[in-house]
Amino acid sequence: MKTIGDLFQQKPGQWGLRGDPYLWQEMAEQFAHTPLPQTVEQLEQLLTETFESLTGKPISTEEFIPVERFPRGGMSGGMVSPEFWRETAVPLLLTRYQEMTTNL
């Protein structure tokens, strides 16, 4: 059985801010045993809800989001970029979902 967590196996080539890889890992762990949803829209909703649950802010937020539990090193340490998630990470995951479900 394929899970949402499988979509996170290959990391993006580039991150937005230093906190983004930590959020990627948390989401991968959270979805490790969650079956793929029936539609790409359901997946997008799950991703955006989980983003908000883990960061405390909606993905539509314009400002960088400080996440206290993430390491603080460097200028953007502990910060998550909602723009990266909206424009890069979520579209990448949705594309992987479509490729995975097409090949099932």
Task: Give me the pLDDT at residue 104, please.
Answer: 60
Q: What percent of the chain has pLDDT over 90?
A: 89
Residue whose token pair is 């314009």:
62
* Domain residue spans of the chain: 4-102
Global pTM reads 0.94
Report how far residue 72's alpha carbon sits from residue 29's, in angstroms, rounded to the nearest whole number.
21
Q: What percent of the chain has pLDDT over 70?
A: 98
Q: What is the mean pLDDT of residues 37-62?
A: 98
